[in-house]
């Protein structure tokens, strides 16, 4: 599995429409998705999949350079429903279709039907022209980060959650990750971001900046539950080495907020018994939920008290990159952010 900072041929997204996840019929969120897609497409081609009944509306809101395809799906988290791609040393590309169960299935999944989501990865791979493997276990793309040199980062909270692979232990999952991603070492953080309804996806607390280098969501308030979570993660990262034996450099990203759903925002969302969108619900807000794509970092603007501090950290770590901030609270209200709604396809050629 290549790293996100390696060259990409395109980025895929899925148009938001679900009324029990996105407020006001998803209209405000669609504007943010269009802004994210536009920013990506200036450096990397973008493919936006759209429910057939919403094709014309999406086409009208998106720049002409963005390809729009009619493909059925259940919700718009392309990082988790899309394919994960692999590269051979010669640059040949293949993909993986993971099993998907809406972040917990019957245990604590976020919606009761996910059949269309579970078919997206194979359709994506067919359209990118890549042969692929069908993995026999549940995993979402947002639950793993790789450095491109054999190191994979994840959280125990997510991959060991009973709603995913209750029959598999930690060593079983490590073995499967080694087989399907050809990684050499798994670094397990205890938990992800506080109140993350994905059961602690790695991409909401950590991002890989390069081999042996990560960014970690950091909280300085001892009264906040995230304070201890971040410190436990820091302890793991600073006492581990990566697959090549290098110590891991940790850059601390400030945590926005804490941020909460307002009464006005909650009123605009259709009630769901499976997704908590009530007034006062804490949002899993994180600047680590950004996308790296071909010399550009696109990150969410979430809290004017911390946005510029986060930008400064990103600019220092990605010194040769253009740093683009996009107002992304509307995406956050749905439970994730810019990394969650995108899935990159690495540059390569179809493997025979």
Q: Band of the pLDDT at 85, cuts 50, 70, 90?
A: very high
Statement: residue 264 has pLDDT above 80: yes
Statement: residue 352 has pLDDT above 90: no
What per-residue confidence (pLDDT) applies to 349?
86
pTM above 0.95, yes or no: yes
- Tens digit of each residue's pLDDT (9 = 90 or more) over 2-43: 999 999 999 999 999 999 999 999 999 999 999 999 999 999
Mean pLDDT, all residues of the chain: 97
**Tokens found for residue 347:** 């540059």
Statement: residue 350 has pLDDT above 90: no
Backbone torsion region of residue 34, taken as left when φ is above 0, otherwise alpha when ψ lies between -120 and 50, otherwise beta = alpha
- Tens digit of each residue's pLDDT (9 = 90 or more) over 115-135: 999 999 999 999 999 999 999
In this prediction, residues 315-332 reach a mean pLDDT of 98
In this prediction, residues 55-68 reach a mean pLDDT of 97
Statement: residue 351 has pLDDT above 70: no
In this prediction, residues 310-330 reach a mean pLDDT of 98
- Tens digit of each residue's pLDDT (9 = 90 or more) over 183-239: 999 999 999 999 999 999 999 999 999 999 999 999 999 999 999 999 999 999 999
Q: Which domains does the chain have, with CATH numbers?
A: 8-346 (3.75.10.10)
Catalytic residues: 340
């Amino acid at each position: 599995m290549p790293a996100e900072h390696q060259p990409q041929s395109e980025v895929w997204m899925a148009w938001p429409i679900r009324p029990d996840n996105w407020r006001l019929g998803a209209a405000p969120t669609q504007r943010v998705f269009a802004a994210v897609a536009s920013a990506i497409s200036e450096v990397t081609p973008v493919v936006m999949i759209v429910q057939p009944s919403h094709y014309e509306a999406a086409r009208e809101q998106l720049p002409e350079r963005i390809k729009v395809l009619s493909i059925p799906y259940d919700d718009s988290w392309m990082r988790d429903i899309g394919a994960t791609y692999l590269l051979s040393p010669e640059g040949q590309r293949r993909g993986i279709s993971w099993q998907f169960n809406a972040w917990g299935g019957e245990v604590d999944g976020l919606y009761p039907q996910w059949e269309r989501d579970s078919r997206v990865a194979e359709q994506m791979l067919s359209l990118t022209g890549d042969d692929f493997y069908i993995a026999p276990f549940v995993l979402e793309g947002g639950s793993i980060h790789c450095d491109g040199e054999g190191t994979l980062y994840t959280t125990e909270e997510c991959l060991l959650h009973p709603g995913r692979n209750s029959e598999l232990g930690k060593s079983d999952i490590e073995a499967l990750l080694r087989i399907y991603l050809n990684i050499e070492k798994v670094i397990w953080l205890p938990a992800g971001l506080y109140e993350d309804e994905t059961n602690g996806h790695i991409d909401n607390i950590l991002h890989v900046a390069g081999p042996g280098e990560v960014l970690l969501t950091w909280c300085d308030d001892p009264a906040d539950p995230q304070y201890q979570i971040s410190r436990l993660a820091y302890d793991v990262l600073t006492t581990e080495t990566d697959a090549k034996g290098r110590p891991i450099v940790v850059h601390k990203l400030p945590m926005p907020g804490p941020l909460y759903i307002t009464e006005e925002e909650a009123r605009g969302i259709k009630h769901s018994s499976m997704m908590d969108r009530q007034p006062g619900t804490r949002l899993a807000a994180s600047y680590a939920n950004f996308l790296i794509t071909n010399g550009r970092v696109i990150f969410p603007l979430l809290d004017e008290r911390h946005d510029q501090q986060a930008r400064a950290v990103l600019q220092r770590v990605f010194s040769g990159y253009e740093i683009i901030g996009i107002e992304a609270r509307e995406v956050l209200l749905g439970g994730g952010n810019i990394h969650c709604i995108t899935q990159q396809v690495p540059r390569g050629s179809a493997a025979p």
